[in-house]
């Protein structure tokens, strides 16, 4: 597992514990090369995120409605009641969860001398009900984490493009991306 994925996993745990007072268990379930057939199961909340700093791009963070509403309920002192539908308050709480995880990740990245300086800003969030098909056509990598807190267990997924994944993990980019990067480099004279 790459240093970045371990760092992200740790930030998921520490942030959710800080918001709820309960330490969740989180583990990487999948690191998937996506194609246009990759889908996620709904109902789900999807946060659209602007990425800036060492790379300027976008990403998406998807949290199952059951997990997001359970964490939101615990943030308000509840026992972690799950819901399959999400209202505006649930989406606001989920946006706060994602913003906090990514803010913590940004701080952790800056503290590592061998990691890029990257900032994240959640621009909007949307709810996809059980009848929706959720795809991420513009992204090529999906990091899926199983998160277990109290009686809730579901997924938080991070959809990244090749450039962001390469910057964060140092793994070789697919040929198509390498060619794009090489073409943008100025010629040496």
| pLDDT tens sequence for the chain (189 residues) | 589 999 999 999 999 999 999 999 999 999 988 876 677 888 999 999 999 999 999 999 999 999 999 999 999 999 999 999 999 999 999 999 999 999 999 999 999 988 999 999 999 999 999 998 888 888 999 999 999 999 999 999 999 999 999 999 987 544 443 333 333 444 444
* Distance separating alpha carbons of residues 2 and 12, to the nearest angstrom: 16
Residue with tokens 């240093």: 3
Residue 188: helix, strand or coil by DSSP?
coil
Quote the pLDDT of residue 101: 98
Contact 122, 95 (CB under 8 A): yes
Residue 76's φ and ψ, nearest 5 degrees, are: -95, 10
Quote the pLDDT of residue 59: 96
| The pair of three-digit structure tokens given for residue 109, joined into one six-digit string | 């990245």
* Distance separating alpha carbons of residues 132 and 51, to the nearest angstrom: 26
Cα angle: 40, vertex 42, 44; to 5 degrees: 95
Quote the pLDDT of residue 172: 56
Quote the pLDDT of residue 71: 97
* Distance separating alpha carbons of residues 165 and 88, to the nearest angstrom: 31
Quote the pLDDT of residue 36: 66
Closest by CA position to 29, among listed 148, 165, 109: 148
């Amino acid at each position: 597992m790459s240093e970045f994925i371990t760092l992200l996993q740790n930030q998921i745990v520490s942030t959710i514990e800080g918001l709820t007072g309960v330490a969740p268990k989180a583990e990487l379930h999948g690191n998937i090369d996506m194609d246009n057939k990759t889908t996620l199961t709904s109902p789900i909340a999807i946060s659209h995120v602007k990425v800036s700093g060492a790379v300027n791009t976008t990403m998406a963070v998807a949290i199952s409605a059951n997990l997001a509403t359970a964490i939101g309920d615990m943030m308000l002192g509840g026992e972690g009641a799950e819901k399959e539908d999400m209202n505006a308050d649930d989406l606001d709480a989920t946006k706060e969860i994602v913003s906090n995880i990514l803010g913590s990740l940004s701080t952790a990245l800056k503290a590592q001398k061998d990691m890029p300086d990257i900032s994240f800003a959640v621009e909007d969030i949307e709810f996809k009900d059980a009848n929706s098909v959720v795809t991420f056509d513009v992204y090529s990598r999906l990091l899926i984490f199983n998160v277990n807190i109290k009686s809730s267990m579901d997924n938080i997924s991070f959809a990244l493009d090749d450039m962001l994944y390469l910057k964060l993990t140092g793994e070789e980019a697919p040929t198509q991306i390498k060619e794009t990067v090489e073409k943008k480099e100025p010629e040496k004279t």
